[in-house]
Amino acid sequence: MDFKECMKTRRSIRRFTEAKVPQEVVKEVVEAARFAPSWKNTQIARYYVVEDVALKQKLAEECMMEFASNTKMTIGAAALVVLAYVEKRCGYERDGSFTTSKGDRWEMFDAGIAAQSFCLAAHEKGLGTCIMGIFDEAKVAEQISLPEGQKVAALIALGYPEGEASAPPRKEVEELVRFL
């Protein structure tokens, strides 16, 4: 699949087949995603891949802030990827002060780049993903025993797609770009 096709045909997939995703395949996706750019090459993104059915079910039922669609999607997914990041590196100086007025928001910026890289790499392998932002951060961290010094950035449902997902409309280029 060439790059443009990969960018254009990736969709948020919310329904999955029952097929498991082999760990080797997940590792190949992370192998590609690790080439994402990051603040001073700090590489703060971490991927916790929840395959265990009981833990995944608990996360789905107790950590989605009553957002039923995310609960259903997570139960149906082969795995739930908890995308986390190491705190206090990205956006920071060595003395602990912020480098710019954006403070620690560069952490989520880098996590976002990692998420897109992961989703595109997964799509290229025939996998479906859906980034989820509606979840209870503290509950997810507790359930997966997230190490001290890391934060949850986003969840990504992962599996083999069932059926086709339609493409939500996109704004026209003219609306998005200004040349100065």
Ligand X SMILES: Cc1cc2nc3c(=O)[nH]c(=O)nc-3n(C[C@H](O)[C@H](O)[C@H](O)COP(=O)(O)O)c2cc1C
- Interface ranges with ligand X (CB under 6 A): 11-12, 14, 69-70, 130-134, 165, 168
With CB atoms as reference, the residue minimizing the distance to ligand X is: 133
Q: What is the 3-class SS of 34-102, one letter each residue?
A: CCCCCHHHCCCEEEEEECCHHHHHHHHHHCCCCCHHHHHHHHHCCEEEEEEEECCCCCECCCCCECCCC
Give the nearest distance from C-beta 105 to ligand X in angstroms: 14
**How many whole angstroms separate alpha carbon 152 and alpha carbon 135?**
10
CB-wise, 67 or 98, nearer to ligand X? Answer: 67
Widest CA span in the chain: 54
CB-wise, 26 or 77, nearer to ligand X? Answer: 77
**How many whole angstroms separate alpha carbon 105 and alpha carbon 32?**
24
Give the nearest distance from C-beta 133 to ligand X in angstroms: 3
CB-wise, 25 or 165, nearer to ligand X? Answer: 165
Give the nearest distance from C-beta 126 to ligand X in angstroms: 16
Give the nearest distance from C-beta 128 to ligand X in angstroms: 10
Backbone angles phi, psi at 176, to 5 degrees: -95, -25
CB-wise, 64 or 90, nearer to ligand X? Answer: 64
Letter for the amino acid at 33? A
